[in-house]
Chain A
Amino acid sequence: MTDVAAYATSTGEAFQFWVLGTVAVVGALCTVFMKKAVHSALCLAGTMIVLAVFYLANGAYFLGIVQIVVYTGAIMMLFLFVVMLVGVTAADSLKETIKGQRWLALLCGLGFGILLCAGIGNASLQEFNGLAQANSGGNVEGLAALIFTKYVFAFEITGALLITAAIGAMVLTHRERTERARTQRELAEQRVREGKQLPPLPAPGVYARHNAVDVPGLLPDGTPSELTVSRTLRERGQIRDVSDEAIQDLKALEQRAGERLGREEGVAK
């Protein structure tokens, strides 16, 4: 890139832009339209990585790396933690609280996009300078020179902001324990007093072949027992009933065994 104003980037960059730009837009659309929050988070992480590549292509080497480390590394992982905490299966309610809100929102988005693109199209941005001169002493050095001179107050205030955010997060998520934690002996005595379930809760699993924790154990009469599945899974409605399935499997196994035995008998004869 020359120091004088240029009118076009290299063909390689154009190719990169069209390929990765498509990926970024598809990732953004998937973020909005995926049903599960985990899928949205992963699509957003993909879009952010593509944006990091664009930063690098635009001469913002420091920001490109920071984008990967901070956004895809820290922020998206924080999102995934919260998704796990809040529950992966917490699906979106499809009921509209305001009638026709979805279509109006889409219409608003479309209008807003057209407005933005028209604004960019009307601006005279045909030539660009390029960062060759600004980056001549190194991108990080250039940024540092600006941060510690022109933007030093903003930088200091950023420190205050980060501290406030960290304290705020702690205050918001911290729960003060108002009563003493009950000891094991007290819990055992309470169980005896109530007389409901003295021994430990029964283990999940049906027969020996389904020992997954989301499969309830069967009572002697063949009905699944809700008590055997963890309370969290019960609340999420993630109990898998395989009592029929297990019987079908057993039938299939017996049939196959019979066929094989029959064939072997034939060979022996």
Chain B
Amino acid sequence: MNPVNYLYLAALLFTIGATGVLIRRNAIVVFMCVELMLNACNLAFVAFSRMHGNLDGQIIAFFTMVVAAAEVVVGLAIIVSLFRSRHSASVDDASLMKL
């Protein structure tokens, strides 16, 4: 097996995540699909790091993880405050800027 297969797997996971973002209406699940896409990118970075024989790819994946952690904290806070004001976690209901 060639490590290129890891890239194919990452592409597949990214595609599944992107499709999920387009299909699902529940804000939390949409957010989980975004996380899946980020993880797929990380896998690609790690595989590239191995192919090129240097650690830069792993550094980028590490920074992606940090950014993802910050993003999850803020995103989930937004979902919680949306749910408080609208009593729904559906992205369709959040169609107005203000209630």
Contacts and interface: CB of A to CB of B under 8 A. Distances in A.
A181 to B, nearest CB: 18
A29 B78 CA distance: 26
A125 B11 CA distance: 15
A169 B86 CA distance: 19
Interface stretch (A60-68, A186-194, A248-256, A260-268): A60-68
B92 to A, nearest CB: 5
Given A28-B17, A79-B76, A44 B36 contact: yes
Interface string B41-52: 011001101111
A15 B68 CA distance: 30
A92 B90 contact: yes
A146 B55 contact: yes
17 contacts: A7-B2, A8-B2, A17-B6, A24-B9, A25-B9, A44-B36, A60-B58, A66-B62, A67-B42, A71-B68, A79-B32, A90-B89, A128-B51, A131-B49, A134-B53, A162-B66, A172-B81
Contact of A112 (B18, B28, B89): B18
A120 B43 CA distance: 14
Q: Is the interface of B mostly helix, strand, loop or mixed?
A: helix
Interface residues on A, range: 35 or more
Given A44-B35, A66-B62, A82-B76, A113 B15 contact: yes
B25 A60 contact: no
A51 B19 contact: no
A108 B50 contact: no
Contacts of A178: none
A83 B31 CA distance: 12
Interface of B: 1-9, 11-20, 22-26, 28-29, 31-33, 35-36, 39, 42-43, 46-47, 49-56, 58-59, 61-63, 65-74, 76-81, 83-84, 88-90, 92
A97 B95 CA distance: 11
A86 B83 contact: yes
Contact of A116 (B15, B20, B51, B77): B15
B70 A90 contact: no
B59 A147 contact: yes
B70 A62 contact: no
Contacts of A238: none
